[in-house]
Amino acid sequence: MSAGTEDSLLPAEDGFDGALSRSERPPRAGAVSASLTLGWRALLKIKHVPFQLFDVTAFPIMFTLSFTYLFGGALAGSPQEYIQFLLPGILVQTIVFITVYTGFGLNTDLDNGLFDRFQSLPIWQPAPIVGALLGDVVRYCIAAFVVVGLGVALGFRPGAGVLGILLGLALVLVFAFSLSWIWILVGLSVEKPESVMTMSFVLLFPLTFVSNIFVDPATMPPWLQTVVALNPVTHLVDATRGFMHGGVAFADVVWVFAASAIIVAVFAPLSMRKYRQER
């Protein structure tokens, strides 16, 4: 083969230059940017699958209406009197129940192979988990708006006004954030999303029903009163009622913050360790 032929087979220098981009490589996404982007992705999932809002809207409405009108007269003398007691508890129950969707969504992504794609990207690796938590905050706020709006329509009148409602909701969000870490660990540990939902019933039903959400614990047997008093949801409901109606007990707020801190201290490291093992 002649030298001229060999030269013709070699790509021209100008061809290499044209194939390469002369623009600067975009900077790597930071932790905040990546987390916000994946949080927005969580909201887009709601947009494209509106059924995800069913538990956020339909179940709070069903629980509030059924308990108010079926049991309000027997428990408090009238539905309007009972709604003053019930609504802060229903708010707590609703948000506590939907914390399970953090783990459900992560397990769905894991099952579909999306985590493999996330882990191959040059992003802060905990961003998928943090983004899921950020997206759930919006979900919690939607649920709170539905519950409080329905309660006001049924006659709920918070003595502390809008500020009391916002303070009560803020405390509920703190506890919900901590509880979400339990479902993150579950979501990263089980095989299917359905398993996350099954395990949620085992924990959430006793946690919410063995509390003071629906009735005053004074009507319960002494041994059950002790169990209810040790339930963090009981203190969360008391504090939320206190914020909304005025006269919140400082001890209940401290109890909620302490329980939340313990849950995060135990389950957040376990969740992140399990997440790194999935990589």
In the DSSP assignment, the letter for residue 213 is: S
pLDDT of residue 83: 93
pLDDT of residue 75: 81
DSSP for 86-128 reads HHHHHHHHHHHHHTHHHHHHHHHHHHTTHHHHHHHSSS-TTHH
Ranked by mean pLDDT, which of 41-55, 123-137, 147-161 comes out on top?
Answer: 147-161
Average pLDDT over residues 161-188: 93
Tens of pLDDT, residues 175-206: 999 999 999 999 888 888 888 888 888 888 89
Tens of pLDDT, residues 33-50: 777 777 777 777 777 666
The rounded percent of the chain whose pLDDT value lies above 90 is 39
d(CA 276, CA 279): 5
Q: Is the pLDDT of residue 224 over 70?
A: yes
Tens of pLDDT, residues 74-110: 888 888 899 999 999 999 999 999 898 888 888 887 7
Structural domain contains residue 156: yes
For tokens 């109606």, the residue is 245
pLDDT of residue 91: 94
Write out the residue range of the structural domain in which residue 258 sits: 28-278
Q: Is the pLDDT of residue 172 over 90?
A: yes
Q: Is the pLDDT of residue 70 over 60?
A: yes
Structural domain contains residue 40: yes
- How many domains is the chain built from? 1
Contact 79, 73 (CB under 8 A): yes
In the DSSP assignment, the letter for residue 126 is: T
pLDDT of residue 198: 85
Average pLDDT over residues 156-163: 92
- What φ, ψ does residue 164 adopt, rounded to 5°? -65, -40
Structural domain contains residue 84: yes
pLDDT of residue 260: 95
pLDDT of residue 134: 85
Structural domain contains residue 8: no
Average pLDDT over residues 120-143: 81
Q: Is the pLDDT of residue 169 over 70?
A: yes
Structural domain contains residue 2: no
pLDDT of residue 26: 60
Q: Is the pLDDT of residue 112 over 80?
A: no
In the DSSP assignment, the letter for residue 50 is: G
d(CA 251, CA 59): 31
Q: Is the pLDDT of residue 278 over 90?
A: no
Beta carbons within 8 Å of 255's beta carbon, 6+ residues apart: 232, 235, 239
Mean of pLDDT over the chain = 83
Structural domain contains residue 34: yes
Structural domain contains residue 189: yes
Structural domain contains residue 131: yes
Does the pTM exceed 0.95? no
